[in-house]
Amino acid sequence: MKIIHVVRQYWPLVGGLEEFVARLAREQRLAGASVRVVTLDESFSRRGLKLAPMETHEGVEIVRIPFYGSTRYPIAPQVLGQLAGADLIHVHAVDFFFDFVALTRGLRQCPIVATTHGGFFHTAKHTLLKRIWFHTITRLTASAYRAVVASSLSDFETFSAIAPRNARLIENGVDIEKFKGAASPLPSRSLLTIGRFSLNKKLDLLLESFRQLVRDGEDWRLDIVGMESDWTREDLRREIAARGLEQRVTVHVGADNAAIARLMSRASLFVSASDYEGFGIVLVEALSAGLLPVVHGNEAFRSFAARRGGVRICDYTDPMASAEAIRAAFVDLAGAPHMRDDLIKISEGYAWPQVARTYLELYRECVEASSRGLQKPIPI
């Protein structure tokens, strides 16, 4: 099978979306598929940094094309010239590519599928406009896909409202081996948060909660790991200095996996004040390391905690309450030596080989249905 993935950002750029597509492509190559990734030629976090137009990484062909307009909706019509010969096209995230590939479906014979990755409701900005777009344009373009795969239960509930016949649920795969067991073997008052420095991560609220936490005089530390986005490194440092936390909080930009594993080795708790997540790959990675998550009760995290357990939910808009939740989690962890192993076990349900097999089964189903000339989406 020749598979073409279409995604706005990809290797060597890092992030949850990039990691997901890279791992899925890698698993498909191992299964014998021919895989191409079509992506944009510029980093969103470092505008002006141009990447090579063509490259091969781990057996996956990468084609990079230019775009114009906002990074929120990057317009790249040249994608049309890179889709020939595919048995199946897989579009990732809901953006220009999602709409354009759907609207030009008639130019190709092969089926198209998409994965939602949280849609575009990551922040409260322009909420009314987003809802109007979602219930008109997205409803229209979603109907062109043989399957619209929700990457979390919350996504499935959202997209089922506009694509009830072709919405599917396949939760994200996670590389649970990457950081497996990396957390400190002994309880440590060291916290770790990982993720792009975007507005929805609410790093200001996390810092407020941490400021409350350190008032007890105990030696708490916080490492903030990620890539610059809406917030820059300097923005964060100003926020840290404004709260007098320079000796307790460290910002790490662009840390590789080895560096992240070293930070995990001295930590016991994973924290996140994020008010929106499509799924939360980093949450599962934290569990695989043996870190106890204390996270904001956004829809994805609440759903995960209700079904899988092992996650402490709190409200980071209340700094005193969230600080107390972190403190209580540490006490519980210190009193339960087995908890670290239990957290690692929870992560095992998201191992990549099984998730990749599920996607390949869906692909075959879509290709077979398309070859029979079925025009209707595959029913749930």
19 and 82 both lie in a single domain: yes
Question: In the predicted model, what is the mean pLDDT of residues 298-326?
Answer: 95
Is the same domain home to 83 and 200? no
pLDDT(183) > 90: yes
Average pLDDT of the chain, as a whole number: 93
End-to-end CA distance of the chain: 23
CA separation for the pair 55, 44 (Å, rounded): 19
Residues 27 and 68 in one domain: yes
Q: For residue 357, give the amino acid letter.
A: R
Band the pLDDT of 377: cuts 50, 70, 90: very low
19 with 160, same domain: the answer is yes
Whether residue 50 lies inside any domain: the answer is yes
pLDDT at residue 373, rounded to an integer: 72
For residues 111 and 19, membership in a common domain is answered with yes
Q: Are 289 and 348 in contact (CB under 8 A)?
A: no
What pLDDT, on a 0 to 100 scale, did the predictor assign at position 379? Answer: 39
Do 33 and 133 fall within a single domain?
yes
- Three-state DSSP at 246 gives coil
Query: Residue 124: its pLDDT value, please?
Result: 58
Position 126 in a domain? yes
Q: Same structural domain for residues 41 and 157?
A: yes
At residue 376 the predicted structure's pLDDT band, cuts being 50, 70 and 90, is very low
Residues 234 and 302 in one domain: yes
Residue 181 in any domain: the answer is no
Is the same domain home to 295 and 362?
no
pLDDT higher than threshold 70 for residue 126? no
| pLDDT, greater one: 152 or 243 | 243
- The beta-strand segments (E) located in the chain are 2-6, 34-40, 54-57, 60-65, 88-92, 112-115, 147-150, 167-169, 190-194, 221-226, 249-253, 269-272, 292-296, 312-314
Could you tell me if residue 376 is inside a domain? no
Same domain, residue pair 105 and 222 = no
Does 208 reside within a domain?
yes
The domain in which residue 168 lies consists of 2-173+351-371
Give me the CATH number covering residue 6. 3.40.50.2000
Is position 299 within any domain? Answer: yes
Same domain, 69 and 194: no
At 125, the pLDDT band (50, 70, 90 cuts) reads low
Q: What is the mean pLDDT of residues 147-169?
A: 93
pLDDT digits (tens, 9 = 90+) for 333-361: 999 989 999 999 999 989 999 899 999 99
Tokens of 67: 């775009």
Model confidence band, residue 154 (pLDDT cutoffs 50, 70, 90): confident
pLDDT of residue 380: 33
Are 244 and 124 members of one domain? Answer: no
Q: Rounded CA gap, 98 and 368, in Å?
A: 22
Has residue 179 been placed in a domain? Answer: no
What pLDDT is recorded for position 326?
98
Share of the chain above pLDDT 90, in %: 82
Give a three-class secondary structure readout of 309-344: CCCEEECCCCHHHHHHHHHHHHHHHHCCCCHHHHHH
Domain count across the chain: 2
Q: What is the pLDDT of residues 92-109, one digit of tens each?
A: 999 999 999 999 999 998
Residue 217 has pLDDT above 90, yes or no: no
